[in-house]
Chain A
Amino acid sequence: MTATGVLQIIIVLSAIILAAVPLSKYMAHIFNGETTFLDKIINPVENLTFKFLKVDEKEETGWINYLKAGLIINFFMLAIVFLALRFQNYLPFNQMHYKGISWPLDFNTAISFITNTNWQNYAGEEALSNFSQMSLVFLQFTSAATGLVFLIAFIRGLKRTQAKNVGNFYIDFTKTVYRIFIPLAVIFAIVMLFLGSPQTFTMQKGVVNMTGAKQYLSMGPVASMVSIENLGTNGGGFYNANAAQPYENPSPFTNALIIFMMSVIPVAIFFMYGIMIGNKKHALTLFFVALTLLTVCIFVVYHQEAAGNPFIAKLGADIKVSKYNPGGNMIGKEEHIGIAQSSLFASATTAFTTGNVDSAHDSYMPLSVMVLLGEMMLNLIFGGKGVGLLNMLTMVIIGVFIAGLMVGRTPEFLGKKIEAKEVKLATLAMFAHAFIIIVPFAVALSIPAGIAGAFNPGPHGFSEILYAFTSTVANNGSAMAGFSGNTLFYNIILGLTLFFGRYVPIICQVAIAGSLIKKKSVPESLGTFPAHGLLFYSVVMGTIILIGALTFFPALALGPIAEHFALMEGHLF
């Protein structure tokens, strides 16, 4: 590790946190129905939309109808995009006359984008028309909004007492897209444009390169996609190589900017939660839980990568840091991005469930891979839009239930009693997440079509397959690489893990909101244990780490941990 490397990491993290503060206030204003400075511009457009959709702005519904509305809209968009991909050769903006790829891949891709995952079993620049790319961009807006909107319902469930209605899905959804994602996406698209990303409808451009040979450059509306793919923690890039491709990520500065874009809203969501719930200390405690986990992950990865591979060093490679040598493990990393920024990027993309990558995770040190897997397995280190905090609150409910009993009262969380129903739903969400990773993974390990996916033998290949399932269920979308996902088996099974990994926990969580909203609020006293401070921090942290470790330890032991110890003894896979 170098001082500049550490400094880079600290600067980026600080910028994110600082920017998240005003953003969180703006977001809280929106969902509390208060006025914001953009009202003059957006109100007329919004009212027109509501009029067109015949939505009454004052009408609110209970959790079931809220959830139904969200799911129906999601499935409807899923169907539309699937058809758009399937029949892209009949649709405009297809200069290269690409045909629909294959139905299993289109199925996988459409689900992948509606679930905010953006797992890509295809190379965008070689398979999709600009229309298809833009239809995916459409989902990058709506899928991010969906997650956030369900969180809003949950927050209202905590906040409102003896009520029934959690809000109006259509209103919340429209506001999220119009007032948060579109304005930010426009700004950052323009910024990316100026920093070197192309934005054009031309799909390929022939140029004569330095050797005199003719070369075709793939391009399209890249800047706009880079903007929303990161702001919405989607991660699905225009190009196969994602942020390792210079049009998506032209410079070390854009690299930092991309990290900023993917992190700022999830961090702001934690602060917004504090404002909306009227308990900033509580939200800040959860923020510190996430920040601690993130920081530890970043520095473990950075330390591992900077230390490099001892095996290669033994073979005589120079992995020491010097003026001309970045040192460490540079395999699969871009020279201009370097180790510190790549480590930060990899940790951030798995924490914030973005899935965009600027380096090959396959070539990371085994313990780094373990950390990246761990971040996705927990799926709550800030996490994706809304769902990250939802997952953390699910763990909070489990932790508060057990710890609350130890205080000698029926456990309460922010004044709401945690009873059989909440425990059932929260543990079900926890169980579903683990089940949907582990069981399909075990199936894949047991059949030839599954084993065929990994490029490498031994624990490394094991990790490659594990990574695919973890990434899809966590709706992350990053690929470890070294894995061929575009097979009938993987397109289908990963399509299903994507789908259930997304919606099962969300359904449980919105149902918790529906149960909490009906309850009275028990006033806080000396007898209730406070939902903030060091003690609460320890309870939440302990619950997360213990449940996470107990669930995934065997798989991690056989994958990255075994590979690590093997490497120490000189075995490579």
Chain B
Amino acid sequence: MSKQDYYVSAFNKEILVPAIWESFRKLNPKVMIKNPVMFVVEIGSVITAAIFLKDVFYHDFKDIAFIFQITLWLWFTVLFANFAESISEGRGKAQAESLRKSKTEVIARLIHQASGKEEKIKASLLRKGDIVVAEAGDIIPADGEIIKGIASVDESVITGESAPVIRESGGDRSAVTGGTKVLSDKILIKMTSNQGEGFIDKMISLVEGASRQKTPNEIALNILLVMFTALFLVVVAATWPMAHYFNGNISPVILVALIVCLIPTTIGALLSAIGISGMDRLVKHNVIAMSGASVEAAGDVNTLLLDKTGTITFGNRMAVDFIPAKGININELADYSQLSSLSDETPEGRSIVTLAKKYGLRGRHIDEKNVNFIPFSALTRMSGVDILDKKENIRKGAVDSVIRFIEQNGGVAEKSITLAANNISKQGGTPLAVAVNDKMLGIIHLKDVVKGGIKERIDSLRKIGIKTIMITGDNALTAKAIADEAGVDEFVSEATPETKMDIIKKEQALGKLIAMTGDGTNDAPALAQADVGVAMNTGTMAAKEAGNMIDLDSNPTKLIEIVETGKQLLITRGSLTTFSIANDLAKYFAIIPAMFAPIMPWLAPLNIMGLSSPQSAILSAVIFNAVIIIILIPLALKGVKYRPAGASAILRRNLLIYGLGGVIAPFIGIKIIDIIITYLHLI
């Protein structure tokens, strides 16, 4: 299985170099104003630059080195912020590029609806509603729905999965995606989207950040940052009349430096990079979200609705055990079971053959002239094989049918057989009886097998407070057995398509957020109703349109990764905000004694870091403030480490690292920078 990897590392030359140029281009105030925090820094940089120029032209060289360096680092602060955003956008573009390669210009075979004639046109000219024909070897020109025919399609460009999939008209497997290739047969496809609006296009524009809209939490956080910026503007502006009261004067350069250090530049600089890379991480999991808001909602999910089949279990019942009847050797039972299943190409049949191999039975050939295969029929509920030369009529099937079969041949079924069969049913399995002529040989235990690792994942979901509900059409007994094995919190058995909708509505009425996966048209209303609806890429058009995410791998277990990505996005934002604000304390201790030194020399003891001079103290704080942005870019892109745990554990950990760490780190950082500045005689 080879996965297509659209994920591009941010730290390569193709991304870094353009990002540097982009950082300068973003200095345009019209662009900067979208980020109010950094816009304030830019205005500050312009002011100090103007003061620097004034001093140069008026030959006032007293503080020129200081003013120059402050100005330089303020510009760096702005550029670093732009760089962070550019690099995340650059990576998005690179990912889009690798997606776009899958989308070469295709020639479509348009069928004129009036005449029925075929015409070859460019795919870009196709409109919604057009009908095209595609045969083996053709590339499907755009997203559409098969209206006639059946074909095997290679969808590896999108899913990375090399095995072809079957697509056919009607039913749940009628959707085809532009860019995929028909491998066999001929189909008629009705276009469901205009060119440029297909899924690949949506995906490209999303990872590029072109259609990125601010998410609800991002908007709230932005308000908080703007208010803090406003607060610090007032606080710092007021220090000027305060100094004036003591007949002192504070240089505007220092005021600007203090403002920039106090306003939450760290998070302000990294906020959009965090958002963009959050979307990127989903792409890494081969999931496209239709909006950033749905990614955030994924982090909030309280309940996961999981289909049993396909998500929790493999969906095929498999033979797990042979239970011989009294007096029958288990090897004999295995032998006849294998014989009866040789022509049975169903997954169940194959699993019986596989299980029998464990009893030392290799695959074998039977002379076809000698045997008569009895296919399964709904009427007899049995299948089997008649071996003509040995006069052995072997049957395998529903227990009551097989009992009737041996009774017709004059045999009697022992009570232990029905007991064993009932026992299997109680455990949620399916019993299959095996008999030859009038002799009951025993029972094969067929079981729906739970996917490996699913229990652990459900446990980790429980740890983070997410409830799982399993839905299945099975009877309550079977459902309970699987539910117990997988460790889900609740299950709903004998579910109909409407059941999902009912559960979602019920949970939502309790104030909960629900996530679900679905692929069928009858899932569409529930997908639309759910807060996070993940449609499988193999699903129908209706399902894909109703959901707010699409999983290109069509792997329902992906829900769990989606939830984690959503959480990680919020955690990264919160942690860096905390860090940014916690940093301010140290900056105060650096700058306040320095800026008030001329008017209030008694404040010297506040210089607890022992910074060498007022100017180097202020410069160190400004440099720290700028450099920390660069240092944190990888964290913003990668996201804060997320481990499934309860809210308290996560919060405790992040508060210690980003809260307490945010208070302490700048004390150390500023001191080190001060030592370097002093050593290099920069001031």
Q: Name A's B-contacting residues (CB within 8 A).
A: 161, 398, 401-410, 415, 418-420, 422-424, 427-428, 430-431, 434-435, 438-439, 441-443, 445-446, 451, 458-459, 462, 520-523, 525-530, 533, 535, 538-539, 542, 546, 549-551, 553-555, 557-558, 561-562, 565-566, 568-569, 571
Contact = CB atoms under 8 A, between A and B. Distances in A.
A431 B231 contact: yes
B85 to A, nearest CB: 20
Contact of A565 (B512, B566, B603): B603
Interface stretch (B132-140, B214-222, B318-326, B438-446): B214-222
Given A402-B574, A439-B234, A439-B238, A409 B300 contact: yes
A419 B215 CA distance: 11
A403 B302 contact: no
A523 B514 CA distance: 13
A327 to B, nearest CB: 26
A410 to B, nearest CB: 5
B648 interface: yes
Q: Most chain-A Cβ atoms within 10 A of its Cβ — which of B577, B581, B606, B648?
A: B648
Contacts of A528: 465, 647
Interface residues of B, number: 75
* Residue among A405, A533, A555 facing the most chain B CB atoms (10 A cut-off): A405
B651 A403 contact: yes
Most chain A CB neighbours (cut-off 10 Å) among B241, B513, B593: B241
B646 to A, nearest CB: 5
B608 interface: no
Contact of A406 (B262, B300, B651): B651
B464 A526 contact: yes
A451 B246 CA distance: 11
Given A405-B575, A410-B296, 12 more contacts: A405-B573, A405-B577, A419-B220, A427-B227, A431-B234, A438-B234, A446-B245, A521-B511, A525-B466, A535-B652, A550-B581, A558-B243
A510 to B, nearest CB: 19
11 contacts: A401-B221, A402-B578, A406-B575, A407-B647, A408-B299, A408-B642, A420-B216, A423-B220, A550-B231, A554-B592, A558-B242
A91 to B, nearest CB: 43
Contacts of A527: 302, 464-466, 646-647
Given A550-B235, A550-B584, A571-B602, A442 B241 contact: yes
B570 A445 contact: no
Contacts of A443: 241
Contact of A435 (B224, B234, B577): B234
A526 to B, nearest CB: 3
Contacts of B574: 402-407
Contact of B238 (A161, A422, A441): A441
Contacts of A402: 224, 574, 577-578, 581
A538 B655 contact: yes
> Which 7 A/B pairs are nearest by Cβ-Cβ distance?
A405-B574, A527-B465, A408-B567, A525-B465, A526-B465, A427-B227, A406-B574
Given A530-B648, A535-B651, A546 B242 contact: no
Contacts of A438: 234-235, 238
A523 B592 contact: no
Nearest to A424: B223
Interface of B: 216-217, 219-221, 223-224, 227-228, 230-232, 234-246, 262, 296, 299-300, 302, 462-467, 510-513, 566-568, 570-571, 573-575, 577-578, 581-582, 584-585, 588, 592-593, 596, 600, 602-606, 642, 646-648, 650-652, 654-655, 658-659
B599 to A, nearest CB: 8
Nearest to A564: B602
Contacts of B232: 550
A554 B577 contact: no
A524 to B, nearest CB: 9
A260 to B, nearest CB: 36
B9 to A, nearest CB: 25
A410 B238 contact: no
Nearest to A161: B511
Given A523-B510, A554-B239, A562 B603 contact: yes
Nearest to A558: B242
A430 B235 CA distance: 13
B235 A434 contact: yes
Which residue of A427, A443, A555, A566 has the most chain B CB atoms within 10 A of its CB atom? A427
Given A402-B574, A525-B302, A562-B600, A434 B231 contact: yes
Contacts of A462: 242, 245-246
Contacts of A424: 220, 223, 227
Given A403-B578, A529-B647, A551-B235, A410 B300 contact: yes
Contacts of B604: 565
A521 B512 CA distance: 9
Contacts of A446: 241, 244-245
Contacts of A523: 302, 510-512
A427 B231 CA distance: 9
In this complex, the member of A161, A424, A523, A554 whose beta carbon has the largest number of chain B beta carbons within 10 angstroms is A554
Given A406-B650, A430-B231, A526-B465, A546 B581 contact: yes
A398 B228 CA distance: 11
Contact of A431 (B227, B568, B575, B602): B227
A520 B508 CA distance: 10
Contacts of A558: 242-243, 246, 596, 600
Contacts of B648: 529-530, 533, 535
Contact of A410 (B224, B299, B575): B299
B578 A406 contact: yes
With a 10 A CB-CB cut-off, give which of A410, A423, A553, A568 has the most chain B CB atoms.
Answer: A410
A443 B510 CA distance: 53
Contacts of A458: 246
Contacts of B231: 430-431, 434-435, 550-551
A550 B571 CA distance: 24
Contact of A529 (B238, B242, B602, B651): B651
Contacts of B596: 557-558, 562
B113 to A, nearest CB: 49
A553 B578 CA distance: 19
Nearest to B564: A408
B650 A526 contact: no
Contacts of B237: 442
Given A418-B220, A420-B216, A562-B602, A434 B234 contact: yes
B230 A431 contact: yes
Nearest to B656: A538
B74 to A, nearest CB: 20
A155 B584 CA distance: 33
B243 to A, nearest CB: 8
Contacts of B602: 562, 565-566, 568-569, 571
Contact of A555 (B227, B242, B296): B242
B532 to A, nearest CB: 13
B606 to A, nearest CB: 7
Contacts of A553: 588, 592
Given A427-B228, A430-B227, A526-B463, A554 B238 contact: yes
A446 B242 CA distance: 8
Contacts of B230: 431
A451 B465 contact: no
B655 A565 contact: no
Contact of B216 (A408, A410, A569): A410
Contact of A420 (B223, B296, B606): B223
Most chain A beta carbons < 10 A, residue from B235, B510, B588:
B235
Contacts of A161: 511
B667 to A, nearest CB: 15
Nearest to A410: B300
Contacts of B654: 406
Given A523-B510, A539-B655, A550-B232, A445 B244 contact: yes
